[in-house]
Structure 1
Amino acid sequence: MIGASACQVVAYAIQAAAPPYPLFCIAFMINGFGVSIQDAQANSLVASLTRNPNEKMGILHAVYGLGAFAAPLSSTQFAQIPRWSFHFLVSLGVALFNTLLLFATIKGHSLEAVLKAVGSPPPETRAADMELPNVGAVNGNSSSETGEVTPAPRAKSSMHQILRNVTVQLMAAYIFVYVGVEVTIGGWIVTFIINERGGGPSSGYISSGFFGGLMVGRVALLWVNKKVGERRVVFGYAILAIGLEIVIWLVPHLIGDAVAVSIIGALLGPMYPICMNHAGRVLPRSILAGSIGWIAGFGQAGSAVFPFMTGALSSRFGIISLQPLLVSMMAVMTILWALVPGHSKRRD
């Protein structure tokens, strides 16, 4: 995690200098590499906690929403001055602070060591009862001639188990679409508002409104999630979000669309931490950390694929194609969540 955060420091230092476009793109790749590792590791850590993991996961992702809320406030201001790249100096300062904070907190320790330090036994310890070092000794199977105990077959690797676990793949597909929808709205909604609703230079603040809603929803709706049930409540949030997205699509009203975007952010906000919490409930603890990393990695892939798709479609059909794309992807996301099992089918 410390090295991944340092990647962000390098990336923002390059971008703050307004380099040639190819180098600018390479810096984004370095940044994305750092973000993906931190995202996977942080989710693995919180999902592995034994005390109030749901609330802590909500807080973790609310802070993500806070950062996403602040970034457009900064970028919108710097976009209106000649030295626009100085926006990345702000990001550089945040990345430096993050690196120092991670170093002071983690200091190179492993996930298992950090879990022990906060009073949560690591997943390997909680799954120890499933590890039988000698099947023959347990079952009394031995050779009648030599008396040798039959050795146990070697356990399959964690990655093999992750790849064969259907629940992991369904959750990865769900997060792939979810993060793609989230990032597409947060980025392309500004272009939509400017081109289709006549928004001015301050349209970037609508992106802040979306991520501000994301932040608020991940904390303010915790009680709703607990009362209704985290698995069931996702369907309600999705239906409401799809309805509001259709309103933005069909009702040409600048202020109304801006408010609807913020509410959609609040509704989408809880979905990511709910998925990570659900993974902690339905997946074997022995592969939980690796599964979380796999799922989060698919989320990062979605954040790359869907904005690219939006750009390709808008170049051919116009930015109005954004809304039908989002509505259809939200529907797919809801179907994928319905396919995710509601409980574990076997013990650890």
Structure 2
Amino acid sequence: MSTTSEQSPIELSEVVAETETSNETAASSRIDRRTLLRLLSAGFSFFVAGVNDGSLGVLIPWVIRDYGINTAILSSVYGASFLGWFTAALTNTHLSQYLDLGSILVLGAVLQVIAQALRVWSTPFGLYVTTFWLTCLGQAYQDTHANAYVAVAAKGAHRWLGFIHAMYMAGCLIGPFAASPIASSKGSTSPASPWYLFYTIPLGLGAVNVALCLIAFSDTLRLKPKIPEPEAQNRETVGRQPDTNQQAPDSKTAIELIKKTLGQKSFWNLSVFYFFYLGATITASGWVVEYLVNVRNGDIVAMGYVPAGFSGGALLGRLLLPEPTRRFGERLMVSIYCIICIGLQVIFWLVPNTIAAAVAISLVGFFSGPLFATGISVGSRLFPADIRATALSLVFVFAQIGGSLFPIITGLVSSHKGVWVLQPMLVGLISATAISWLLVPQPKSSNLELHQE
């Protein structure tokens, strides 16, 4: 039988080893200043995008009246937005093979600044529509690579993804409060609204976004170095056959990466989920003011703040719900959120009260808020590392197809039947979101494994 004194040396060594291991774990979990600055820069880029996107629903009634167009023609801005994301999908993977992370983030930021600069005056409607293509092209480059970076930048990525997407909703919250006073500064009955002056705000924020990207990602503001081809040199010198084991993993062409991505069943499942989810949220935030003004006879100035309720709810949801969503299971919690949103949307539809509608749409924002970041977190664990950026880029394209197609359909149908069609459209879209989420496979790898690559 061993005595206490005989066991102590072994126990002491075990304690020391455990202490060293815990210290290493704690050190590895800390975020250095450069990484923190990059995470904050990524969050600010989403904030800038949110200010731009969150203002559209407020400005739509003023744009329709200023240009003398109907909802069907106004829907062309959503078509231009989709074309921006589609263009990004066709070019993003190719650009990623030549531009390093900082370069492509700065490119996206600069494109958004150019678009905002074209909007700050009473531009022709055709040019105004074109700026949405340019804005979304820039957003696509930034959002895709910021998402991919944050998903693997630090431990607890689901929290940081929740943070950057909460920053987006913070922008969406501020957008209406900035746009509505400017658009209505001459009164709700004035035929000449200076609504376009609002875009001076995202223009200034966009310039700050460019500066932050230049500072935070300064070490990657470059072209990617060409992949060495030692096998080619060997063939020229000693005539040896190429050694395929020496080929760098990044040497896959853009076409190969896209083909591999499209061959992933999980990619299609997640894309369908985002197709309906973004279709629901953009349709709701884009047409809710026009609905309340025309169907519920609300005041155009007062109703301009209702989208802020939706964005404020989504902001709180993205801050407060990621942790319980992760703790109790993403599949279960997202399904519960969707069911709650369906019930709230039915209340919005059937209860003819403006206050009830504002409360219901705010709660829809709260419970739908964490869905975007949750999907990114799941996708980051589903997709292999070599196609993660490509896969997320293409997923966002399908998301934007939904985010553009369903608002267009709503605008076209409402021009003939009335804006009341918004409500049954939203109930159907949220239901489809819930069903498609159940088809997304559960990732096998944990978030911890992501950071050990």
- Cα distance in 2, alignment partners of residues 88 and 195 from structure 1: 26
Query: 2:210 aligns to what?
Result: 99
Q: Does 1:53 align with 2:152?
A: no
- Letter of the 1:185 partner, please give it: A
Q: 2:393 aligns with which of 293, 304, 307?
A: 293
> How far did 1:300 drift?
2.4
- Letter of the 1:267 partner, please give it: F
Q: Does 1:64 align with 2:168?
A: yes
Cα deviation code 1:220-241 (max 9, x no counterpart): 1123213321221000000000
Q: 1:169 aligns with which of 247, 264, 268?
A: 268
TM-score for the superposition, normalised by structure 1: 0.84
Query: 2:130 aligns to what?
Result: 26
Q: Does 1:281 align with 2:392?
A: no
Q: How does 1:125-274 map to 2 (within 5 A)?
A: 157-200=256-299, 201-274=301-374
Distance verdict in 2 for CA 1:207–1:297, change over 3 Å: same
Cα deviation code 1:309-330 (max 9, x no counterpart): 1101111211111010111111
Distance verdict in 2 for CA 1:301–1:273, change over 3 Å: same
- Cα distance in 1, alignment partners of residues 325 and 179 from structure 2: 33
Q: 2:413 aligns with which of 313, 325, 330?
A: 313
Max Rg structure? 2
Name the SS for the 1:16 alignment partner. coil
Percent sequence identity is 29
Which shifted more, 222-231 or 308-317? Answer: 222-231
- Letter of the 2:373 partner, please give it: P
Cα deviation code 1:174-220 (max 9, x no counterpart): 11211111111111111111112221121011001101111110011
Q: How does 1:6-45 map to 2 (within 5 A)?
A: 6-45=110-149
> How far did 1:110 drift?
7.3
- Cα distance in 1, alignment partners of residues 271 and 333 from structure 2: 19
Q: 1:40·1:297 contact (CA, 8 Å) conserved in 2?
A: no
- Cα distance in 2, alignment partners of residues 241 and 11 from structure 1: 34
Q: 2:322·2:374 contact (CA, 8 Å) conserved in 1?
A: no
Distance verdict in 2 for CA 1:159–1:108, change over 3 Å: farther
Name the SS for the 2:118 alignment partner. helix
Query: 1:125 aligns to what?
Result: none
Name the SS for the 2:312 alignment partner. helix
Q: 2:317·2:369 contact (CA, 8 Å) conserved in 1?
A: yes
> How far did 1:149 drift?
11
> How far did 1:297 drift?
2.3
Distance verdict in 2 for CA 1:150–1:255, change over 3 Å: closer
> How far did 1:49 drift?
2.9
- Cα distance in 2, alignment partners of residues 96 and 230 from structure 1: 37
Q: Does 1:79 align with 2:183?
A: yes
Name the SS for the 1:40 alignment partner. helix
Cα deviation code 1:81-114 (max 9, x no counterpart): 3422110111111111111111111126179x9x
Distance verdict in 2 for CA 1:150–1:71, change over 3 Å: closer
Name the SS for the 2:184 alignment partner. coil
- Letter of the 1:92 partner, please give it: L
- Cα distance in 2, alignment partners of residues 273 and 79 from structure 1: 32
Q: 1:44·1:293 contact (CA, 8 Å) conserved in 2?
A: no
- Cα distance in 1, alignment partners of residues 136 and 122 from structure 2: 18
Which stretches in structure 2 are left out of the alignment for 5+ residues?
Answer: 1-104, 186-192, 225-230, 232-240
Name the SS for the 1:15 alignment partner. coil
Which shifted more, 247-256 or 295-304? Answer: 295-304
TM-score for the superposition, normalised by structure 2: 0.65
- Letter of the 2:415 partner, please give it: S
Which stretches in structure 1 are left out of the alignment for 5+ residues?
Answer: 114-132, 134-147
- Letter of the 1:39 partner, please give it: D
Which shifted more, 73-82 or 14-23? Answer: 73-82
Which shifted more, 271-280 or 221-230? Answer: 221-230
Q: 1:190·1:204 contact (CA, 8 Å) conserved in 2?
A: yes
- Cα distance in 2, alignment partners of residues 92 and 218 from structure 1: 26
Name the SS for the 2:220 alignment partner. coil
Q: 1:283·1:344 contact (CA, 8 Å) conserved in 2?
A: no
Which shifted more, 274-283 or 292-301? Answer: 292-301
Distance verdict in 2 for CA 1:339–1:77, change over 3 Å: same
- Cα distance in 2, alignment partners of residues 60 and 40 from structure 1: 12
Cα deviation code 1:142-180 (max 9, x no counterpart): xxxxxx99967x989222110100101111121121111
- Letter of the 1:233 partner, please give it: M
- Cα distance in 1, alignment partners of residues 399 and 429 from structure 2: 14
- Cα distance in 2, alignment partners of residues 9 and 150 from structure 1: 46
